[in-house]
Amino acid sequence: MSDNVGSLTETTLSSEVMYRGRILNLRVDTVQLPSGRVAAREVAEHSDSICVVPIDDDGNVVMVRQFRTPTGGPLLELPAGGVEPGEISGETVQRELQEEIGHRAGSIQRLAGFWLAPGWCDEFMHAYLATALTPSKLPGDDDENIAVERVSFPQALEFIADGTISDAKSIAGLLLAMRVLGDN
């Protein structure tokens, strides 16, 4: 670790929320750097979130395909979602699995946590491995249109390499799960 960590701090002079939305807020912070220079930081505020690598009894990853407006098309992804106020992220795992793939997990293992886009967003994601899946369905979100797909774990890793799986959370979650599962 660098001896200059103290020189990397910034002092927030002011903060103004420019937009309040259903899933995120946008704010502009005015900060002072150690040099005395003043700069603006644009920040998207978002709750913590989770992504899950659900593995069925046949060793398949249970994934979802859904249209993503910012990308202009559908993506093959791990189930994921935001942590609701007062909810513990392990509870979020069960809720999202039930809403998105129609199963509960008998076993949940935390893999890691990571910032999704720390240059402009405060969202922190917790990644989990879920096994011993049993059918259990909750109604999904009204605005989601999801298709469930089962992919062998080795095929999921190939899909990362060939670009079929191209979102960061799914790539990170699958690679983290590989440490636990191997690349069978």
pLDDT tens digits for 84-103? 888 888 899 999 999 999 99
Are 73 and 148 found together in one domain?
Answer: yes
Across the range 45-60, mean pLDDT stands at 96
Are 37 and 128 found together in one domain?
Answer: no
Are 66 and 122 found together in one domain?
Answer: yes
> What are the tens digits of pLDDT across the range 141-172?
777 789 999 999 999 999 999 999 999 999 99
Are 23 and 56 found together in one domain?
Answer: no
How high is the pLDDT of residue 119?
94
The CATH number that applies at residue 149 is 3.90.79.10
Q: State the Cα–Cα distance between residues 92 and 151, nearest whole angstrom.
A: 23
Are 16 and 88 found together in one domain?
Answer: no
Are 23 and 94 found together in one domain?
Answer: no
Are 89 and 116 found together in one domain?
Answer: yes
CA geometry: angle 49, 88, 143, nearest 5 deg: 45
How high is the pLDDT of residue 168?
96
Q: How many domains does the chain have?
A: 2
Strands (E), 24-182: 25-32, 38-45, 49-54, 60-68, 73-77, 80-82, 103-115, 124-135, 146-152
Are 69 and 147 found together in one domain?
Answer: yes
Q: State the Cα–Cα distance between residues 176 and 112, nearest whole angstrom.
A: 8
How high is the pLDDT of residue 85?
87
How high is the pLDDT of residue 90?
85
Are 108 and 121 found together in one domain?
Answer: yes
Task: Please state whether the predicted TM-score (pTM) of the whole model is above 0.85.
Answer: yes
**26 beta partners:** 19, 44
Distances (CA, A) of 124 to 50, 106, 137, 149: 8, 25, 26, 26
Are 121 and 96 found together in one domain?
Answer: yes
Domain that includes residue 95, residue range: 49-181
Are 84 and 38 found together in one domain?
Answer: no
Across the range 170-183, mean pLDDT stands at 91
How high is the pLDDT of residue 82?
92
Q: What percentage of the chain exceeds 90 in pLDDT?
A: 83
Are 68 and 93 found together in one domain?
Answer: yes
> What are the tens digits of pLDDT across the range 105-154?
999 999 999 999 999 999 999 999 999 999 998 777 777 789 999 999 99
> What are the tens digits of pLDDT across the range 10-32?
999 999 999 999 989 999 999 99
